[in-house]
Amino acid sequence: GNWYENRFKFKDSGHRSKPFHQIAYPAHVGSVPDTVFRRRALGSKEQRLGRLILDHHDIDSQKQLISSYDEQYNKRGAYGEHQDNSERKWAVPDNHWLPERSDHPLENTPTSWGLVERKRAQTQFLQRQRTMPDLSEYTNRYIPHRPEEYS
């Protein structure tokens, strides 16, 4: 037959089958987002922004872990009870290796390179520059009078 004439033999039923994702993941029409949870999440996010660099893993910012690089090259060695130069040993009764120093990193005050102080001073200088006008020759040489002379 002629395909052009045969194409009108079957009528379109209008039935459309659902795709798999609509069957597997049905829409929850009546659901409302949990505003309390969202507000709490937003609030905790805003509180964390200032401390994200060192404090986002609940590590005390006054006690940072000392890396082996710091110990060997920067001469920031172990202090107090942490001074241990022994090799890793085999524990015979437990049949496993004893923990070595890298398994329990040392804690000490964080290394300060002065970056925070330098940035703080730079910010204060830029803010002072924006708020205070530069002194002109006139204002620089002006000698203020005593308040008694005005009355």
CA distance 70 to 49: 28
Cα 85 versus chain centre, distance: 35
The single residue listed with the structure tokens 């052009």 is 4
CB contact set of 23 (below 8 Å; sequence gap of 6+): none
Kindly provide the b/e burial profile for residues 39-54, where b requires at least 16 CB atoms within 10 angstroms of the residue's own CB: eeeeeeeeeeeeeeee
Torsion of Cα atoms, 67 then 71 then 74 then 80, to 10°: 120
User: What letter represents residue 33's amino acid?
Assistant: P
Q: Which two tokens stand for residue 69?
A: 């690089």
Q: What is the pLDDT of residues 13-37, one digit of tens each?
A: 777 888 888 888 888 888 887 888 8
Q: What is the pLDDT of residues 68-100, one digit of tens each?
A: 666 666 665 555 555 555 566 777 888 877 766
Which pTM does this prediction carry? 0.23
